[in-house]
Amino acid sequence: MKKYLMIARSVTHAQRMELALSRIGIRPQVFHAPLELTAGHGCAYAVQVRESDFQVALKAVYGAGANPVAIFLTDGTQFQEVRV
Partner 1 sequence: MIYLDSAATSFQKPHSVETAMTQALREMSSPGRGGYPAAVKAADTALECRSEVQELFHVETPEQVVFTMNATHGLNLAIKSLVPPGGHAVISGYEHNAVTRPLAALGAEITVAEIPLFQPEKAPGAFAAAITPETDAVICNHVSNVFGFAQPMEQIAAVCRERNVPLIVDASQSGGILPLDLQNLGAAFIAMPGHKGLYGPQGTGILVCGKDVETKTLLEGGTGSLSRDQQMPDFLPDRLEAGTHNMPGIAGLLAGIRFVRSQGMAQICLEERKLAALAAEGLRTIPQIQVFAKNDLFAQTGVLSFVCKKMDAERVGEELGKRGIAVRTGLHCAPLAHKSAGTLETGTIRASFSAFNTKNEIIQFVETTAQIVSGNIE
Quick one: how far is CA 44 from the chain centroid? 11
Residue 31 binding partner 1, by CB under 8 A: yes
How many whole angstroms separate alpha carbon 30 and alpha carbon 50?
13
Contact between 38 and 31 (Cβ < 8 Å): no
Contact between 16 and 64 (Cβ < 8 Å): yes
Residue 84 binding partner 1, by CB under 8 A: no
Please count the residues of this chain forming the interface with partner 1, following the rule CB under 8 A: 18
Stretch that binds partner 1, among 7-15, 20-28, 52-60, 71-79 (CB under 8 A): 7-15
Q: Which residues form the interface with partner 1 (CB under 8 A)?
A: 9-13, 15-16, 19, 30-32, 38, 40-44, 65
